[in-house]
Amino acid sequence: MKRILLLIALLSAFATRAQADVAILVHGYLGDAYGWEISGINAELAARGWQRAGIIFPGYQGPVLPPAAAPAPNKVYAIELPSTAPLGVQSDLLTQALRAVEARHPGESVTLIGHSAGGVVARMSVVRGGAGQVRRLITIAAPNLGTERALQALDVTHAGGPLNIVKDIFGGRTYRTVKQSWPVLLDLAPAQPGSTLHWLNVQVHPDIEYVSIVRGESYGLGDFLVPGFSQDLNNVPQLRGKSRTYVVGTEHALSLQDGRVLSGLLR
């Protein structure tokens, strides 16, 4: 009888551990980790049993994780990345953070959720750094095939002549930030041979679950910043037919509706 009770206890402990999951939220270009809070997504996830575990900050000696949260079946971290840095730099920082989270939560399944350019950063992380404990990647309005808006931003901020001098003087902080972030804008330009996205899209991707959240009232419409076909991971050469796709009729920014879709997907 004692042996049976011990076996039941062990199986129960194993089942509880197997059900535990971790999600890591990755913001996009000119975004930050607090965007998931402001949009109401964190509150929506918390209402569905996903506890806020805090914000991860990159550090010189490795990622700085928040203090370990109280035990909970499911935990959500947000990471603060230098969103104007090249995609490769951001993905390396995310990979370091991912390994640190996995060390804190050994054996737990990890879901990466990336908004806009953060979706590309998350995908590059699992391609270059390996999936590790990542079992699912969810991208929201991500420019997987690039966006013409990146080229337009480069044209506006790097046009020559007297007008550019005027823009440098009166353009304001956002204009100067966009101008200084030209490397990541080049990374987000439409994929073509020799570009960062073309390289990424032809690499072998890990065998995990892929989900695309696409903007627009109907498939293919997209939003002001990224066309719909670019947001669908099924249009990445190495992922054709491998992604589930959901259409959310909102603008490019994160919204409460994203939180509701994510709650259903994570459940």
Tens-place pLDDT, residues 89-119: 999 999 999 999 999 999 999 999 999 999 9
The answer to whether 110 touches 75, Cβ cutoff 8 Å, is: no
Average pLDDT over all residues of the chain:
88
CB atoms within 10 A of CB 165: 10
CA–CA gap between residue 58 and residue 78 (Å, rounded): 12
For residue 88, count CB atoms less than 10 angstroms from its CB and return exposed for 0-12, middle for 13-18, buried for 19 or more: middle
Tell me whether residue 62 is in a domain: yes
Least trusted range by pLDDT, from 59-68, 72-81, 233-242: 59-68
How many structural domains does the chain have?
A: 1
CA–CA gap between residue 36 and residue 41 (Å, rounded): 5
CATH code of the domain containing 80: 3.40.50.1820
CA–CA gap between residue 76 and residue 42 (Å, rounded): 8
Tell me 156's DSSP state. H
pLDDT above 80 for 12: no
Contacts of 51 (CB under 8 A, 6+ apart): 69, 70, 72, 74, 75, 76
| Domain limits for position 61 | 20-146+189-266
CA–CA gap between residue 211 and residue 113 (Å, rounded): 9
Is the entire prediction scored with pTM above 0.85?
yes
Tell me whether residue 131 is in a domain: yes
User: In this predicted model, which residue has the larger pLDDT, 13 or 51?
Assistant: 51
CA–CA gap between residue 56 and residue 74 (Å, rounded): 17
Q: What is the CB-side half-sphere exposure of residue 73 using CA atoms within 13 A?
A: 13
Q: What percent of the chain has pLDDT over 90?
A: 76
Least trusted range by pLDDT, from 25-34, 40-49, 209-218, 224-233: 209-218
Task: Give the start-end residues of each E strand in the chain.
Answer: 21-26, 50-56, 74-79, 109-115, 134-140, 209-215, 243-248
Written as six digits, the tokens of 160 are 């020559």
pLDDT for residue 15: 37
Tell me whether residue 152 is in a domain: no
The model's confidence at residue 158, banded by pLDDT at 50, 70 and 90, is low
